[in-house]
């Protein structure tokens, strides 16, 4: 039986691990399918305090992981299929059948990229349709690509893609972006970036093997038109990874865990941290902060149960 299992090795989980490990709890972390979380899919993080020149996302999370390991945190690559409450804590069934038992649990499983959910997207996933510019941008050297979305991610991805693509078009379903001013300005001032307003993707077009364009639907009048491109980068937000907690824990209508301001969930001994419980801020620093809080509360909970 473990004292504390932390699900997720993003910045929330790793920060929780630093605190829990320094409290001698020897936490065990499970990576899930996206080891290191969303930061591993970004390039420069310019707003994490303490890095005046910025820091690479993957480096930041790697440093945090090393820091946790230094104090005795253990990391395991595995995926939890389901979670149940037991008399002594929680039982986690892993994909593959193994079972882990723990006295306390911190869920920091984050959120994964949202897809459009149209049939042609499925057909062209990995053949020109992707959710990660950092991972796939280099495949589009000298090509024309579109970025879907109007948030900070779309702006960031569009800017990043201009390093490779000959032309980047942001397609947004409204007539204004929700992205922060500074990110919008950077994208709009980039000569390689154009914008198509009031349009959504009705279909991805191609020859069955590669994308050759998208069919756009004008959101003001419903008119359809074809738009030529070689790649489609989706930046339309994220979905919290909570499906394995079905039936155990209270989540809101979008699937986010309902945690209180001290990171307690509706179940005693189960804490939440990071994007899995935060649809408002979703920043690396707030995820890290909530990871710290969850770990401190888990430590207090375990101490009350006689675990030191």
Task: Please tell me whether residue 149 binds ligand NDP under the rule CB under 6 A.
Answer: yes
CA–CA separation, 75 and 65 (whole Å): 9
Task: Please tell me whether residue 152 binds ligand NDP under the rule CB under 6 A.
Answer: yes
Judged by CB under 6 A, the residue of 21, 116, 273, 294 near ligand NDP is: 116
Contact indicator for 265, 258 with CB cutoff of 8 Å: yes
Of the residues 78, 132, 218, 292, only one is catalytic, namely 132
Smallest Cα–Cα separation from 69: which of 109, 102, 22, 34? Answer: 22
CA–CA separation, 125 and 115 (whole Å): 10
Beta carbon of residue 275, minimum distance to ligand NDP (angstroms, whole number): 8
Contact indicator for 147, 125 with CB cutoff of 8 Å: no
- The bridge status of strand 238-240 relative to strand 111-113 is antiparallel
Binding positions for ligand NDP, 30-59, rule CB under 6 A: 47
Contacts with ligand NDP by CB under 6 A: the residue count is: 19
Contact indicator for 290, 263 with CB cutoff of 8 Å: yes
Task: Please tell me whether residue 200 binds ligand NDP under the rule CB under 6 A.
Answer: yes
Which string of DSSP letters, residue by residue, matches 8-26?
--SHHHHHHHHHHHHTT--
Q: Which stretch binds ligand NDP (CB under 6 A): 130-138, 143-151, 186-194, 257-265?
A: 143-151
CA–CA separation, 277 and 208 (whole Å): 39
Judged by CB under 6 A, the residue of 66, 70, 174, 209 near ligand NDP is: 174
Task: Please tell me whether residue 151 binds ligand NDP under the rule CB under 6 A.
Answer: yes
Nearer to ligand NDP, 25 or 116 (CB): 116
Q: Which stretch binds ligand NDP (CB under 6 A): 95-103, 150-158, 249-257, 288-296?
A: 150-158
**Does the active-site annotation cover 229?**
no
Beta carbon of residue 304, minimum distance to ligand NDP (angstroms, whole number): 35
- The bridge status of strand 270-272 relative to strand 99-107 is parallel
| Contact footprint for ligand NDP (CB under 6 A) | 47, 116, 148-154, 156, 173-174, 178, 200, 235-238, 282
* Residues classed as catalytic: 132, 135-136
């Amino acid at each position: 039986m473990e004292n504390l299992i932390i699900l997720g090795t993003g910045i929330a989980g790793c920060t929780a691990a630093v605190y829990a490990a320094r409290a001698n709890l020897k936490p065990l972390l499970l990576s899930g399918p996206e080891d290191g979380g969303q930061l591993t899919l970004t390039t420069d993080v310019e707003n994490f305090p303490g890095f005046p020149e910025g820091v690479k996302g993957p480096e930041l999370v790697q440093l945090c992981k090393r820091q946790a390991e230094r104090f005795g945190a253990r990391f395991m690559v595995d995926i939890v299929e389901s979670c149940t409450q037991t008399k002594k804590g929680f039982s986690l069934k892993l994909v593959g059948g193994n079972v882990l038992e723990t006295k306390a649990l911190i869920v920091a499983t984050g959120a994964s990229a949202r897809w459009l959910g149209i049939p042609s997207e499925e057909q062209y996933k990995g053949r020109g349709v992707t959710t990660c510019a950092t991972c796939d941008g280099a495949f589009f050297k000298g090509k024309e690509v579109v970025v879907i979305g109007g948030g900070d991610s779309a702006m960031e991805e569009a800017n990043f893609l201009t390093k490779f693509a000959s032309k980047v078009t942001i397609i947004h379903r409204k007539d204004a972006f929700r992205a922060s001013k500074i990110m919008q300005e950077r994208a709009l001032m980039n000569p390689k970036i154009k914008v198509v307003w009031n349009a959504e993707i009705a279909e991805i077009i191609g020859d069955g093997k590669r994308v050759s364009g998208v069919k756009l639907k004008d959101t003001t009048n419903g008119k359809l038109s074809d738009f030529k491109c070689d790649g489609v980068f989706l930046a339309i937000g994220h979905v919290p990874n909570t499906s394995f907690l079905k039936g155990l824990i209270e989540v809101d209508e979008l699937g986010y865990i309902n945690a209180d301001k001290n990171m307690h969930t509706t179940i005693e001994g189960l804490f939440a941290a990071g994007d899995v419980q935060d649809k408002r801020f979703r920043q690396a620093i707030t995820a890290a902060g909530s990871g710290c809080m969850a770990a401190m509360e888990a430590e207090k909970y375990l101490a009350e149960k006689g675990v030191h």
